[in-house]
Amino acid sequence: MLQVEKDPFIRLRNIKKTFGHVVALDGVDLDVCPGEVTALVGDNGAGKSTLIKIISGVLYPDEGEISLNGKTYRHLTPPVAIELGISTVYQDLALVDCRDVASNIFLGREPLKARFFVDKKRMNRESEELLRKLKVSIPSVTTPVEFLSGGQRQGIAVARSINQQGKMIIFDEPTAAMGVGESARVLKLIRSLGDEGFAVLIISHNLHHVFSISDRICVLRNGRLVKDFRTENTNPDQVVGFITGSNQRTEEFRKGSTKA
Amino acid sequence: MQKYVQTDLTKIKLLTSHIFPQLLLILVMLIMVILLSVTSPFFLTWDNLRNIFDHSSLYIILALGMTFVISSGGIDLSVGAVAALSGVCMAAAMQGGLEAGLSILGGLIVGGLMGAANGSIISFLKINPFIVTLGVMSLSRGLALIITGGIPIYGFPRDFTWWGNGHIGPFNPPMLLAAFLTVLAAVVLNMSRFGYYTLALGGNEEALRRSGVSIHLYKIIVYILSGVAAALGGLVVTARLNTAEPLAGWMLEMDSIAAVVLGGTSMKGGKGSVAGTVTACLLLGMLRNGLVILSIPSYYQQLVIGIIILAAVIIAEVRSGKNLAFINK
């Protein structure tokens, strides 16, 4: 791997976000590197969703900085995030069910010919290529998305993210509500994106999935990033310990710290 | 690596799901043509067919706008009243000494403004289109009554009445206008980016928004189109009767909605068929004409049309249920 690829694609520093009295994020630092699958784990309410919403521009942080492409931003907006190459595959996938596969993949960036007509042929051709590259098998790019399975739909949502010239792809619970075989296929797809040089950030509750595909595991707890592991240097028990906080308490106990 | 297969199954599915309503309409139409031409020697004459096309043209013009609105997941109840208001505005402008062309343009702008009002309130304030357009309907009707003082305006220059009674070869302007708009609507809905976004709005507005598209802009344009279509309808009605009647276009919104739904456009949005809408308009026109030819009292027309619409909606619903069962197998 090239040296350049070790530079993080996005660098978050001291991100804070509160909702009323609730502190969702309390000074989070996070780097996401290209060519790596970074998993964000944590209990419900740990701040995972808030963090990815800040990265995709849906929420604005109260404090902190986002550095990207050599520039520093106070916050992003959804169009700016897409422009900068950050694409999010939402849990609900945000597909237009009644429209066909190609229209969904090109939603919002349909190619035109003669400045007016949507270039359907080109859309179909490029969609087919993209899906073949991603090894997503569907009957035809002219099939309405509503007729496809959960895994196929996920594949289409991923294809759209890549088609938006995404360099970083965020997955929010990609395997929730999916069968075993389907999950395996989606995980393989996510892993292959990391191998191809995309910066991948994934939220998942399923540690088994996380361990099977990630390079790094970042544990959020009560709005803080409490641990940043290389996946090969840890094990599920240790990660669970950090998610629940039992490890931390043990360590603090050992150190003699009695912080409440 | 998984094989990239093209199954025949999808082709069958697409055939059943997309073209079926239109095929059924054409079938019903053929049966009607055969029945009517057997019962009346007058039915299948050029004069009578011309009559049907002429009468249907007004419905087609309004229903085309409605096709866009319903495809985008909305509804526009104001079209009948906006048609009347636009006609009245054109008439008032001409009465005030403005020439026909500019008056028509003014009337079309009024229609577009009413559409923009509908679209802006629906999109920015996120209020149910049913309620908003109901309000604009009442408002437009009220304005039309206020402008005329409740008394119809009549007697327009030849340049204006040509739009209702002129001749271009064997056709008249309303027919050609309807034909032109049909082609335009079909091209725009199926081939332009605007058409893609109209259908995506009806399918999943949130997905479109997250793809970075300004949904407000496109929603407002959809309602402006419907308003302008209504104004063109107002032009046809006013020119044809040589009278601007504040109560013109009464219940025209219902006829438009009925034609759109009959034509296979989904009330849930996301699916729209221009061909279906036009076929349905012609079918309804033929039905009205046939009932008159067979000298069936006009009260029965409403009844028969109501039954047909109900039947169409029920068939569509049953069919979509069947489709799903077929796919799940």
pLDDT in tens, B138-185: 999 999 999 999 999 999 999 999 999 999 989 999 999 999 999 999
More confident residue, A164 or B190: B190
For residue B255, tell me if it sits in a domain. yes
For residue B51, tell me if it sits in a domain. no
* Spatial CB neighbours of B45, under 8 Å, sequence gap ≥ 6: none
Q: How far apart are CA A101 and CA A17, in angstroms?
A: 37
User: Count of CB atoms within 10 A of residue B102's CB?
Assistant: 12
Distance from CA of A87 to the nearest CA of B (A): 9
Instruction: Tell me what pLDDT residue A3 has.
Output: 40
| Mean of pLDDT values over B237-251 | 95
At B74, the amino acid letter reads G
Distance from CA of B161 to the nearest CA of A (A): 34
Starting at the edge strand that comes first in sequence, how are the strands of the sheet with A168-172 ordered?
Answer: A86-89, A168-172, A199-203, A37-42, A216-221, A224-230
Instruction: Tell me what pLDDT residue B264 has.
Output: 87
Report chain A residues whose CB lies below 8 A from the CB of B184. Answer: none
Instruction: Tell me what pLDDT residue B146 has.
Output: 97
For residue B318, tell me if it sits in a domain. no
Q: Which residues of A149-172 are buried (b: 16+ CB within 10 A; e: fewer)?
A: ebbbbbbbbbbbbbbbebbbbbbb
Is any Cβ of chain A less than 8 angstroms from the Cβ of B4?
yes
**A112 has which bridge partners?**
A118
Instruction: Tell me what pLDDT residue B18 has.
Output: 61
Is any Cβ of chain A less than 8 angstroms from the Cβ of B146?
no
Report chain B residues whose CB lies below 8 A from the CB of A160. Answer: 211
Backbone angles phi, psi at A9, to 5 degrees: -75, -40
H or E element in which residue B187 lies:
helix B173-191
Across A174-188, B49-63, B234-248, least confident range: A174-188
Pairs across A and B, CB distance < 8 A? 88
| DSSP code for B247 | T
**pLDDT at residue A25 is higher than 70:** yes
More confident residue, A203 or B323: A203
Structural domains of chain B, count: 1
Contact (CB<8Å) B208/A95: no
For residue B31, tell me if it sits in a domain. no
Across A221-235, B100-114, B125-139, B224-238, least confident range: A221-235
**pLDDT at residue A232 is higher than 80:** yes
For residue B297, tell me if it sits in a domain. yes
Instruction: Tell me what pLDDT residue B16 has.
Output: 53
Q: Which domains does chain A show, CATH number per domain?
A: 4-255 (3.40.50.300)
H or E element in which residue B9 lies:
helix B8-14
More confident residue, A69 or B281: B281
Among candidates B9, B193, B204 on the partner chain, residue whose Cβ is nearest the Cβ of A118: B193
Coil vs helix vs strand at A199: strand
Instruction: Tell me what pLDDT residue B314 has.
Output: 82
| Mean of pLDDT values over A233-260 | 75
Q: Is A246 exposed, middle or buried (0-12, 13-18, 19+ CB in 10 A)?
A: exposed
- Closest C-alpha among B87, B70, B79 to residue B239: B87
* Spatial CB neighbours of B240, under 8 Å, sequence gap ≥ 6: B161, B163, B164, B165, B174
Report chain A residues whose CB lies below 8 A from the CB of B272. Answer: none
C-alpha neighbours within 13 Å on the C-beta side of residue B306: 5
For residue B223, tell me if it sits in a domain. yes
Mean pLDDT of chain A: 88
Contact (CB<8Å) B271/A103: no
Report chain B residues whose CB lies below 8 A from the CB of A152. Answer: none
* Spatial CB neighbours of B173, under 8 Å, sequence gap ≥ 6: B162, B163, B164, B166, B236
pLDDT band at B92 (very low <50, low <70, confident <90, very high): very high
| Mean of pLDDT values over B180-191 | 97
Instruction: Tell me what pLDDT residue B107 has.
Output: 98
**pLDDT at residue A104 is higher than 60:** yes
**pLDDT at residue A257 is higher than 60:** no
pLDDT band at B2 (very low <50, low <70, confident <90, very high): very low
Among candidates B1, B6, B200 on the partner chain, residue whose Cβ is nearest the Cβ of A107: B200
Q: How far apart are CA A231 and CA A218, in angstroms?
A: 9
Which tokens is B323 given? 């489709």
Report chain A residues whose CB lies below 8 A from the CB of B6. Answer: 139-140
Which chain B residue is nearest to residue A141, measuring alpha carbons?
A: B6
N residues, chain B: 329
Report chain A residues whose CB lies below 8 A from the CB of B216. Answer: none
Distance from CA of A141 to the nearest CA of B (A): 9
**pLDDT at residue B3 is higher than 60:** no
> Best-predicted range by mean pLDDT among A221-230, B61-70, B262-271?
B61-70
pLDDT band at A250 (very low <50, low <70, confident <90, very high): low
Mean pLDDT of chain B: 89
Among candidates A88, A108, A116 on the partner chain, residue whose Cβ is nearest the Cβ of B208: A108
User: Count of CB atoms within 10 A of residue A57's CB?
Assistant: 21
Is any Cβ of chain A less than 8 angstroms from the Cβ of B199?
yes
Instruction: Tell me what pLDDT residue B6 has.
Output: 45
More confident residue, B318 or B176: B176
Is any Cβ of chain B less than 8 angstroms from the Cβ of A82?
yes
| Mean of pLDDT values over A231-247 | 89
Cβ–Cβ < 8 Å for A118, A142? no
For residue B234, tell me if it sits in a domain. yes
Among candidates A97, A128, A143 on the partner chain, residue whose Cβ is nearest the Cβ of B204: A97
Report chain B residues whose CB lies below 8 A from the CB of A59. Answer: none
For residue B44, tell me if it sits in a domain. no
Across A11-20, B26-35, B130-139, B240-249, least confident range: B26-35
Chain A residues 185-244 within an 8 A CB cutoff of chain B: none
| Mean of pLDDT values over A140-145 | 93
Cβ–Cβ < 8 Å for B161, B43? no
Domain containing residue B286 = 57-313
**pLDDT at residue B10 is higher than 60:** no
More confident residue, B13 or B140: B140
Q: How far apart are CA B329 and CA B327, in angstroms?
A: 5
